[in-house]
Chains A and B, each alone.
Chain A
Amino acid sequence: MKKLIQNLSRKITLIVVIILNVGICQISKAQNSIEKETASLNLSYKISNGIKSIKAIVERKINGKFLGVENLKLNLYLTAVKPYDASNSEGLLATISTNADGEATFNFSPDFYKKTAKKHEFNFIVSAISNPLFEDISSEIILNDYVIDLKIAAVDTISSATAKISKYENEVLIPAAEIELKLAIKKTFGLLPFGEEGAVTDENGEVMADIPADVPGNANHSITVVARYVDEENGGVIEVSKDAPWKILPIPNAIPERTLWSTGHNAPIPLVIVTVSLITLIWGIIIYLVSLLIKIKKLGNQKKSK
């Protein structure tokens, strides 16, 4: 029976499999008497080129180590914990589960942006409730709608980037001064900063810096400049990126040569010539010698000639 079930479930389609899965899980003894555990919930926000997202990380401590909590259902609310209210778009916005690292990222629908176009400060609440394994957890985050404007200008051979950061105050966009606004070039694994370290915005909310002229750009003759403000108070990142044409290309990879460390097909020609000719020579002679064995046999079959 066990075999049959295993066999069955292996071949069965996904949907059926999930149902079966539910069945198996329900019988799990672990469910019967669990002392609820506690977990920590950390939130951060990101506004990237105007696109907002909320990231939640849920962790628990096991043997002194923090491990991500997987498959925990998280609810995202705006302003107040209540069902969604279409009239002022408050309440429950979304529900998603954490991944293997205990992370979940909430992205917003175009509809949300449309409805909140006038709103510039958000109070999000994320919570996990009525979970069989964990105590209820909840956390809040304030998202400020900063606006960054990034311009790239080229004078002769020198390109410079100017970024301006502004903040809504009473529905009016005003420049944010004395703010650490970073300029950087986007690279594979991170942002390569340029300009004065720790530079803050002037009274116009602006920082400016020359883009280092010798930085290799992207293969498609461009460079991606990023202006970024880290809102440490509320735990968020606001950034804007912009592509600019760029002359310096990445250093191309060397064309594979025929070397001793190449694949067998790319062996150095002299080596191939030497080995192949030696093998041909020696085995040619060996084949000749084997033909001599055949000759001996033939000679033995001939009648004695006298």
Chain B
Amino acid sequence: MVNPSGLLATMQVDPFFEDNAVGRLKKEIWEANEPQIDAWLKEYGTPSPCEWTKPGSYIQTTVRHQVEANRRNNDVVLIPLGCTENHGKHMVSAADTLYVSMICEGVRRYTAKRGAPVNLALPPLMYGGHPYHHMGMPGTVILRESVVRELLIDVMLGLWNDGFRKQIFVNNHGHLWMLEAALQEFCKRYQLPGIYRVMDWHRAVREFFRTSDAGGEYETPFIHADESERNRCSSSPAGTSTPRWIPIGAPTAGAKARAISRSRSRAPLRGWSGRRRRGIPARPGAPWWRSCAT
């Protein structure tokens, strides 16, 4: 197989990964076998219930002297961001916030084993900003964009004042543009040295979320298929359909995700389960925090 310049081939026709630290990491995971995936999950203590109330897990649930001691070894803070959103009758509306919190908690557990735990801030957006097509959906609670932006700016400033000056927003919801705006405005307004990042976590590792129609193992696109396609989810109880909130035929986030996925996929994904890569079992009836849609 011809290896394009600067890219790493995999055991499949596609994808290729960039020949850098991130690409090599992804390639290693892509080609790992089940025992290796299990071993990595174990290193991160995953799966695990959410640790919002666990002493020592978040800055806000850690005694002050320990917060200061941790910060002197590692002053990076992960800020998980989610929302309150109706994901269908088989799901809870805090799903996004719970997922991203548990991801960040796994990173904290892993780095703690190495002696310098990354810091976690409790999720500041238990509600969230939303795209326009969420308007009117019962069970979805929408903060206005200016509230989201100013709240996050205040959170960033408060964490900065406490010495947490390397801040990473880890996002699990469709309000990315508000987070980017908050970060930009914070930097313009206060002019404070630091490291500030925002990422949609599923986009950071998008190669692992191919749908079945693109040769992957996922039934629905990751990017909130639930708005228009939640009825396809195999974990949905029978007869729990929820009406559409956008016109039939309108472009959706899910459609966009499929288009992107198709354009990048030319061969069937063979091998192990994508769900296991995420620590999420496929079986119906699994605990809600390990279930299907996100």
A and B form one complex: no
A residues with CB within 8 A of B: none
